[in-house]
A and B are shown apart, each in its own frame.
Chain A
Amino acid sequence: MVDRYKALLQTFLPVIVLVLLVLLIGGYDPTFFAASNLLSVTADTMTLFLMASGVTLVIMMGGIDLSVQAVASMTSCILAAYLPRYGIFAIPLAVLGGAVAGFAGGFVSTRLRIPSFIATLAVSGVVISAGYWFSDTRSVNIPAELRDSYLGWAVGDTLGIPREIWVGAVFLIILSAILQLTPFGRLVRGIGAQERAVMASGIDVNRIKIMAFTLSGTMAGIAGIVMAARLGSGSPTLASEFLLPAIAAIVVGGTAITGGVGSIWRSFVGALIVQVVRIGMTFMGVSVFAQQIVFGFILVAAVAITMDRSKVLVIK
């Protein structure tokens, strides 16, 4: 019985933390509770969530994808560079770019049997160069009229709710469904929980892994597009500050880096926590620069708390 309460508490701890944080900040500044403010905070969180959502799958598998910030930057460049020429088709092109980068990370990691953090780090080097190539090493503006006609779905309001939230919600549902309802999702969980058993059950583990990395790259690509739409430009360093918060969001949400446990909504909550903490620190007058220090340590602390140590014999 006690165990059950403990399990329940563990499941909802991130939500409780989020609520407490919101109440805390609201206590300092009641205008924080205004519906419009809450909506805009959530909207601001969505690009972070989109980036974190795909990586969540990889982390659930027990791997990691360190290339997402490079991928998002690159896709913003692809979008900005090709929107004038190809119009709406620049969007699928950018998404494809993200998918290819994700695939490359997965392929290198599984075929060459190297740890995913090093494989994705290596791939991110190539991706960064590609970003510079697409953008010709500078920030590329997206003309307002092109943005209105092709990227309107990502900015502005629908039914009084910012469209970023709609986009985020759609992918929250799609990815949750993939994770909960498809064999792919189940195998992702299985690989994270016990890869050798899944392999011994006659599953082509490498295929599943490459699929998950591809999906991670794809989501990073979509995040890059939404970012470019919001900012009205693409740049090869657009998302370079996003890797740490994205991983922090996932881990703070309660997905363990040892794999097997986690979900997309957790990363959603985690991303909100990260955003609210950031706002809270700004309220308290912590400089934007110093916030990174705090996030560095939050990341390590959250990893330490959520990790399942019985699964790793030797921690390297």
Chain B
Amino acid sequence: MDPGLRRDDGLMGDHDLIGRNRLKTAALNGGALAQWRKWAPLAVLLALCILISLFNGNFLTIGNFIRLLNSAAIPLVLCMGATFIILMGSIDLSVEGIVALTAVMVSLLVTNDISPYAIGLFAVPLAVIAGGVMGLLNGLLHVKLKTPSFMTTLGVGFAGVGIAMAVLGGDTVRISDQTFRFLSLGRPLGIPMAVWIAIASVAIAFIIQERTRLGRWLYAIGTDEMTARHAGIPIERTRILIFTVAGLFYGLGGVLSAAQFGQGHALISQGRLFTTITAVVVGGTALSGGVGSVLNSVIGVMIVVVLANGLVLMGVEPYVQQGVQGLLIIAAVALALDRSRLEVVK
């Protein structure tokens, strides 16, 4: 049954819809505060850089900058997918599962110490497609079974880690294919290959976002799904496609993880979900959907990476990172909080 029909049974609903739209509009325009919010992530990033360089002279060196970019590469690739999904108003908790699965898959397909395949770089598109298939599964289950995305992706994500574990039986596979490892370790023009790949991913994501129907529709869906539906946008198909595209990015993230560490392991992706969501939210993309951009997420990733780098430079224990990221999510959401809204939030 069309949800539009159900909404309107009885005589309620319309008022609600108009009201909601007004609220969203009110939240979007409105003066200096909105302007400030728009630039806040960039300001935070600059402030962080200045602050850390004051404490530590090693921060503002070319070497450290390249190190920063290198550690930003994988989160950037993952964030491109996650941003799309959050812009649509959904969430994807399957990042770690898909990354683990594809990392293990690609490391078993290149020259390694467990399996005999050794198909070299052909393994890369296969792993990326495997990520896309997992994303497609997310989308299909979410749309066809009509289950909320956070539950669906939680289940699929666990299944992904489960597959990675089951394939390796909990072991680690070591990669000996140096061509493959070039994907992360090679340094054309002195910049790590992973960074080039991340830059290409951002460019592709930006084009999808700005210049394709898919990109425009995901904003429409995230802003107001009912209106988008009435405009004739194929909501279900768009949702499934977006989850698939996100899966492709996670697949690429898995490939880069395997190339970086030179091994495949089911726990290779631990902590990735957290970093990804933190970066997207801190970058200024709203969890409610419709507001934000992949470029915001680039800034978000840099904030997370710079902060982590700064903490390391200051000698803070590594296990504190996740706690700091948790606080970052809370702080970012608190700053973006629009107190004029009074909506039910579950």
Contact between A and B in the complex (any CB pair below 8 Å): yes
Contact between A244 and B158, CB atoms less than 8 A apart: yes
Task: Name the 8 nearest CB pairs between A and B, nearest first.
Answer: A125-B326, A129-B323, A292-B162, A296-B159, A289-B165, A293-B162, A132-B319, A122-B329
Within the complex, the shortest CB–CB distance from A131 to chain B, in Å, comes to 9
Q: A124: CB under 8 A from chain B?
A: yes
Contact between A303 and B326, CB atoms less than 8 A apart: no
Q: A112 touches which one: B161, B225, B325, B333 (CB < 8 A)?
A: B333
Contact between B154 and A299, CB atoms less than 8 A apart: yes
- B 322-346 binary contact with A (CB < 8 Å = 1; else 0): 1111110110011001000101111
Contact between A122 and B326, CB atoms less than 8 A apart: yes
Q: A124 touches which one: B3, B88, B326 (CB < 8 A)?
A: B326
- A 269-307 binary contact with B (CB < 8 Å = 1; else 0): 000000000000000000101111111110111011001
Q: A254: CB under 8 A from chain B?
A: no
Q: A9: CB under 8 A from chain B?
A: no
Hey, which chain A residues are within 8 Å of B166, CB to CB? Answer: 287, 289-290, 292-293
Which residue on A lies nearest to B138, using beta carbons? Answer: A300
Interface of B is mostly: helix
Contact between B326 and A316, CB atoms less than 8 A apart: no
Contact between A115 and B330, CB atoms less than 8 A apart: no
Q: B169: CB under 8 A from chain A?
A: yes
Can you list 26 A-B pairs, Cβ within 8 angstroms, ordered by A?
Answer: A112-B333, A112-B334, A114-B287, A114-B333, A115-B345, A117-B91, A119-B330, A126-B327, A129-B320, A257-B148, A287-B166, A289-B169, A290-B163, A290-B165, A292-B161, A293-B163, A296-B162, A300-B151, A300-B155, A303-B147, A303-B151, A304-B141, A304-B146, A309-B146, A313-B3, A315-B146
Contact between B91 and A118, CB atoms less than 8 A apart: yes
**Number of CB contacts from chain A to chain B under 8 A:** 175
Give chain A interface residues in 33-88, CB to chain B under 8 Å: 61-64
A110-B345, A118-B287, A289-B169 known, 18 other contacts, Cβ within 8 Å? A115-B346, A121-B329, A130-B323, A195-B346, A199-B344, A244-B154, A259-B346, A287-B169, A290-B166, A293-B158, A293-B166, A296-B158, A300-B155, A304-B146, A312-B148, A315-B146, A315-B147, A316-B225
Contact between B341 and A113, CB atoms less than 8 A apart: yes
Give chain A interface residues in 198-250, CB to chain B under 8 Å: 199, 236, 244, 247
Within the complex, the shortest CB–CB distance from B313 to chain A, in Å, comes to 19
Give the interface size bracket for B toward A. Answer: 35 or more
Q: B196: CB under 8 A from chain A?
A: no
Q: A263: CB under 8 A from chain B?
A: no
Hey, which chain A residues are within 8 Å of B150, CB to CB? Answer: 64, 115, 117
Contact between A297 and B148, CB atoms less than 8 A apart: no
Hey, which chain B residues are within 8 Å of A316, CB to CB? Answer: 88-91, 148-149, 225, 289
Hey, which chain A residues are within 8 Å of B325, CB to CB? Answer: 125
Q: A186: CB under 8 A from chain B?
A: no
Q: A95: CB under 8 A from chain B?
A: no
Give chain A interface residues in 103-120, CB to chain B under 8 Å: 108-110, 112-119
Q: How far is the CA of A110 from the CA of B343 in the complex (A)?
A: 11
Contact between B226 and A289, CB atoms less than 8 A apart: no
Contact between A299 and B158, CB atoms less than 8 A apart: yes
Hey, which chain B residues are within 8 Å of A116, CB to CB? Answer: 345-346
Hey, which chain B residues are within 8 Å of A244, CB to CB? Answer: 154-155, 158
Hey, which chain B residues are within 8 Å of A196, CB to CB? Answer: 344
Within the complex, the shortest CB–CB distance from B11 to chain A, in Å, comes to 16
Q: How far is the CA of A64 from the CA of B147 in the complex (A)?
A: 14
Give A residues with C-beta under 8 Å from B: 61-64, 108-110, 112-119, 121-130, 132-133, 137, 195-196, 199, 236, 244, 247, 257, 259, 287, 289-297, 299-301, 303-304, 307, 309-310, 312-316
Which residue on A lies nearest to B160, using beta carbons? Answer: A296
Contact between B319 and A129, CB atoms less than 8 A apart: yes
Which residue on A lies nearest to B97, using beta carbons? Answer: A296
Given the known interface contacts A289-B169, A289-B170, the answer about A195 and B344 at a Cβ–Cβ threshold of 8 Å is: yes
Given the known interface contacts A112-B337, A129-B323, the answer about A300 and B147 at a Cβ–Cβ threshold of 8 Å is: yes
Q: How far is the CA of A117 from the CA of B273 in the complex (A)?
A: 13
Q: B293: CB under 8 A from chain A?
A: no
Hey, which chain A residues are within 8 Å of B90, CB to CB? Answer: 316
Given the known interface contacts A118-B287, A296-B159, the answer about A128 and B154 at a Cβ–Cβ threshold of 8 Å is: no
Within the complex, the shortest CB–CB distance from A127 to chain B, in Å, comes to 8
Which residue on A lies nearest to B144, using beta carbons? Answer: A304
Hey, which chain A residues are within 8 Å of B146, CB to CB? Answer: 304, 307, 309, 315
Contact between B141 and A300, CB atoms less than 8 A apart: yes
Hey, which chain A residues are within 8 Å of B162, CB to CB? Answer: 289-296
Q: How far is the CA of A115 from the CA of B148 in the complex (A)?
A: 13
Give chain B interface residues in 145-204, CB to chain A under 8 Å: 145-152, 154-163, 165-166, 169-170
Hey, which chain B residues are within 8 Å of A195, CB to CB? Answer: 344, 346
Which residue on A lies nearest to B143, using beta carbons? Answer: A315
Contact between A121 and B277, CB atoms less than 8 A apart: yes
Contact between A129 and B322, CB atoms less than 8 A apart: yes
Hey, which chain B residues are within 8 Å of A301, CB to CB? Answer: 145
Contact between B274 and A293, CB atoms less than 8 A apart: no
Q: How far is the CA of A247 from the CA of B155 in the complex (A)?
A: 10
Which residue on B lies nearest to A312, using beta carbons? Answer: B148
Q: How far is the CA of A301 from the CA of B141 in the complex (A)?
A: 9
